[in-house]
Amino acid sequence: MRLPRFPRVIGFDDAPFARRAGSAVQLAGVVCAGTRFEGLVWGRVRRDGWNATREVCRLLEGGKFLPQLHLVLLDGIAFGGFNVVDLPELAARLGKPCVAVMRRPPDLDAVERALRRLPRADARWARLRRAGNIHQVGGFTFQVRGAEPSFVADALALVTDKGRVPEALRLAHLIGSAVLTGESSQRA
């Protein structure tokens, strides 16, 4: 796959959410061409639930944005606590490279300890591991299905304005925060 000058991506991030089990967590998906905002989708998942993969697919399948996308970006591998996205399934269903972007490599021992406090911990851990290796390429940290890490690093550089957070993910974070709390948070 060749990258255009302004790759079109969608970045998903969860909005602030209540800490009680099973609560609804709002999910913002921001479409950008390069770093320019072009569209928005909105959905919701359950805190520590099992519907994150299905919801991202629901928001894209049959819609106008999916055929235009080069990459699907996720802010981490889980939304609403530990509603873990099945990255291989997501990439297969959407037919697009899917990337879980992280600000830094996770402490996997701490993640596993946290998962052990939830129901079906082994299934959550298995889904997280199925996402594949964590890559550090071009200053970005990510897991990917459906593309080579070097391709993803090149694409992420083209859709990032400053720092190491792609613009679509930064905007999804800001919009989700503003919709729920009345103002955008400082940290994206």
Spatial separation of the C-alpha atoms in residues 91 and 147, rounded to whole Å: 10
Determine the pLDDT at residue 3. 87
**Rg for the chain (alpha carbons), in Å?**
15
Q: Name every residue whose Cβ is closer than 8 Å to that of residue 175 and which is 6 or more positions away in sequence.
A: 28, 30, 40, 184
Size (the chain), residues: 188
Q: Which two tokens stand for residue 60?
A: 């894209």
Determine the pLDDT at residue 185. 74
Determine the pLDDT at residue 188. 53
Task: Read off the pLDDT of residues 17-30 as tens digits, 9 standing for 90 and up.
Answer: 988 888 999 999 99
**Could you tell me what percent of the chain has a pLDDT over 90?**
89
Closest CA to 71 of 159, 5, 150: 159
Kindly state the average pLDDT of the residues 103-120: 96
The residue type at 97 = P
Task: Read off the pLDDT of residues 36-73 as tens digits, 9 standing for 90 and up.
Answer: 999 999 999 999 999 999 999 999 999 999 999 999 99
